Each structure stands twice: as structure tokens, then as C-alpha cells.
Amino acid sequence: MNILIVDDEKDVEILFRQKFRKEIRSGTIALSFAFSGQEALDFLEKENPPQVVYVFSDINMPGMTGLELLKKIKERFPKINVSMISAYGDNENYEKAIGSGAKEFFTKPIDFAFLKKEISAMVEKNNSEK
């Protein structure tokens, strides 16, 4: 199962690779990274349909925001689950994200135990649909 992480901070890649190293090593998941909203859309459009089943995106990014990316993903690829992350747990971003179709809304620092549960549930669902 391929997961796309979208964040303009490149050190996020190291963090996610460390936190999910067992799952990556076992082949349960594959992580891909994009460092802007446009890069994420370009990545998703490379394959038809995209092999990504889950996008985890920061909200505050230069250029296209995570909320704009969420809207575009939901329009073009409605089956892809998208969760948002923000350094600010404000209600306005939460409401916009959930109202636009986000599966979950995380605040930094990320609760990786909860995120792993989310991903495990998606892996199980994805495997049962094959």
C-alpha cells in the first residue's frame, strides 16, 4: 500500500521513514514524498489510477496549501483517503479540512501510534477488497 506524505519541510521524510521502518521493511507499506502541493498532484497523475491509497498532507505550505490540495485530490481522485496535519490545532482549519473530505486531522507533534492504527485499518480494508 503506497502512502504519499506531502510537506514542504524535507526533514519530515527522515522522521516518517524512522517511525515506519518496520512496516516499510516488511513490505506492508511504501512511502512516497512530495514537497509541495503541485509536486503531489504531479505524482498522483503519473499513474492512472494512482497506486496511492492515502495522502497525508501538511496544511501550511507555500504555493498550494494543503487544503487546496485536498480539494483537488477529492475532485480528481475521490477514492484516495486524505488526512491533514497542522502545527495549529485551530477549529477553522479542522472544520475546513473535515468539511472538504479529509479522513482525519492531526496536529503536530504527530501522534504516530494513532496514525499507525489508521494505516493498519486501511491496509486491512485494502487487502480485503483485493
- pLDDT exceeds 90 at position 87: no
For domain 2-128, give the CATH superfamily.
Response regulator (3.40.50.2300)
Q: Is the whole-model pTM more than 0.85?
A: yes
**Structural domain boundaries in the chain:** 2-128
Q: Please, which residues have CB within 8 angstroms of residue 126's CB and are 6 or more apart in sequence?
A: 1, 53
- pLDDT exceeds 80 at position 126: no
Nearest by Cα to 100 from 125, 81, 127: 81
Q: Please, which residues have CB within 8 angstroms of residue 111's CB and are 6 or more apart in sequence?
A: none
- Give me the mean pLDDT over the 62-83 stretch: 95
Helix (H, G, I), strand (E, B) or coil at 104: strand
Residue 120 carries which side chain, given as an amino acid letter?
Answer: S
Mean of pLDDT over the chain: 92
- pLDDT exceeds 90 at position 49: no
